[in-house]
């Protein structure tokens, strides 16, 4: 899987857009939120696999979010996020008509999407929001797509209808069996891999442990497996070094070399350790913000 570095455009800061929320939908007892944001320049340039870095308020934390979809005609981008800590909780308070302080993007290397034949797209939790834009690009290249999307319970399944339109087959899993097949997305993938010797490519996007499990499952079959990594990011432009990951024993900066990488080459154990590094501070910051 080649990275489309030659077509990635130089970073521009869009000072002309207002980054106004034009649509908002809350799901899963308000723990997942969709927002359509006015950002015409980003909507025009964004390609599958890319993300933005946003700030809710002046002086606030910068956080990365994947561009799940874009509408260049309306000049909007769509994000789906899980309300997990201080900044995402603050994001949820924004109403339609209110604006983000700033949004930078599109960032990251767009994925080069090719016509390869039969592919499996696996999304876990809000990872499906990251998977969606990439799946759409594979659809446009006429691949045969088997989708597997899952969550802990029915309410946490997102983009089912939209993925259903893109996929030739769609399997839904829930950990508790409240919808679709009972079990993990990796259980369904195990079966699909056994039954279909003609799979050319697998994408797995979701929690790090899930992506590691997907890569481990496909390794014995020698099927190319791509993942989209989500380390802590600050500037998103290759300057702070925060998003270091080890891929094929080399240090890469996820924001400028990724976020997509060959899952068989990623050192997931190191990334899992680094990702939990600030957990006590994040916890404290959330508790402090709700006092
Ligand atoms: C390229 C990329 C794309 C992403 N796309 C999405 C998406 O589409 N939808 C979605 O729900 N989430 C996405 N994330 C994760 C999202 O950025 C974090 O959930 C968010 O930053 C949490 O912030 P918080 O203050 O609410 O939570 P905190 O309490 O600060 O953190 C909760 C957890 O979120 C992660 N996190 C915190 N700060 C950052 C940071 N600056 N960069 C990366 N991760 C962080 C850590 O795992 C942390 O333990 C993406 C991350 C990356 C790197
Ligand atoms: S986020 Fe700073 S180098 Fe990648």
β-pairing, 144-151 vs 51-55, is unpaired
> Could you report the per-residue pLDDT of 62-96, keeping only the tens digit for each?
999 999 999 999 999 999 999 999 999 999 999 99
Whether residue 249 lies inside any domain: the answer is: no
- 221 domain-assigned: yes
Ligand 2 pocket member 242 (CB < 6 A): yes
Q: What is the pLDDT of residue 291?
A: 45
Contact of 104 with 236, CB cutoff 8 Å = yes
For ligand 1, whether the C-beta of 230 sits within 6 Å is: yes
Does residue 90 have its Cβ closer than 6 Å to ligand 2? no
Averaged over 149-156, what is the pLDDT? 94
Least confident of 2-16, 86-100, 264-278: 2-16
Domain CATH code at residue 79: 2.40.30.10
Q: Where are the beta strands (DSSP E) in 42-136?
A: 51-55, 63-66, 69-71, 76-82, 102-107, 118-124
The answer to whether residue 112 sits within a structural domain is: no
pLDDT in tens, 191-232: 999 999 999 999 999 999 999 999 999 999 999 999 999 999
The answer to whether 5 and 49 have CB atoms below 8 angstroms apart is no
pLDDT score for 30: 85
* Burial readout 173-188 (b: 16 or more C-beta within 10 A, e: otherwise): bbeeeebbbebbbbbb
Strands 199-205 and 118-124: parallel
Tell whether 17 and 86 lie within a shared domain.
yes
Query: How many structural domains are present in the chain?
Result: 2
- Residue pointed to by tokens 């006429």: 142
pTM of this prediction exceeds 0.85:
yes
The chain-wide mean pLDDT, for the chain, equals 91
Residues 224 and 141 in one domain: yes
Kindly tell me if the per-residue pLDDT of 10 is higher than 60: no
Q: Answer yes or no: is 94 within a domain.
A: yes
Full domain range(s) for residue 129: 118-228
Q: What's the rounded mean pLDDT across residues 283-287?
A: 61
Measured from the CA of 32, which atom of ligand 1 is nearest? 11
């Amino acid at each position: 899987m080649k990275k489309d570095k030659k077509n990635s455009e130089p970073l521009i800061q869009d000072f002309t857009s207002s980054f106004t929320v034009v649509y908002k939908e809350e799901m899963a007892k308000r723990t997942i939120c969709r927002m359509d944001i006015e950002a015409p320049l980003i909507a025009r340039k964004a390609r599958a696999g890319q993300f933005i870095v946003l700030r809710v308020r002046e002086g606030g934390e910068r956080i990365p979010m994947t561009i799940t979809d874009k509408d260049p005609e309306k000049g909007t981008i769509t994000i789906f996020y899980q309300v997990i800590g201080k900044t995402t909780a603050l994001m949820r308070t924004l109403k339609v008509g209110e604006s983000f302080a700033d949004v930078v993007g599109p960032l990251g290397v767009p994925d080069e999407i090719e016509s390869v034949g039969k592919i499996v797209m696996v999304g876990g939790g809000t990872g499906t929001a990251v998977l969606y834009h990439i799946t759409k690009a594979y659809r446009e290249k006429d691949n045969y797509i088997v989708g597997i999307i899952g969550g802990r319970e029915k309410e946490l399944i997102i983009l089912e209808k939209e993925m259903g339109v893109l996929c030739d087959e769609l399997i839904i899993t829930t950990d508790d069996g409240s919808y679709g097949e009972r079990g993990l997305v990796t259980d369904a993938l195990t079966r699909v891999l056994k039954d279909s010797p003609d799979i050319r490519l697998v994408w797995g996007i979701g929690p790090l442990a899930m992506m590691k499990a997907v890569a481990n499952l496909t390794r014995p079959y020698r099927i190319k497996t791509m993942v989209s990594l989500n380390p802590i990011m600050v500037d998103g432009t290759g300057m702070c070094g925060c998003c270091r990951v080890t891929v094929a024993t080399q240090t890469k900066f996820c924001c400028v070399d990724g976020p997509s990488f060959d899952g068989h080459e990623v050192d997931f154990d190191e990334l899992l350790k680094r990702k939990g590094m600030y957990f006590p501070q994040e916890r404290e910051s959330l508790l402090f913000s709700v006092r």
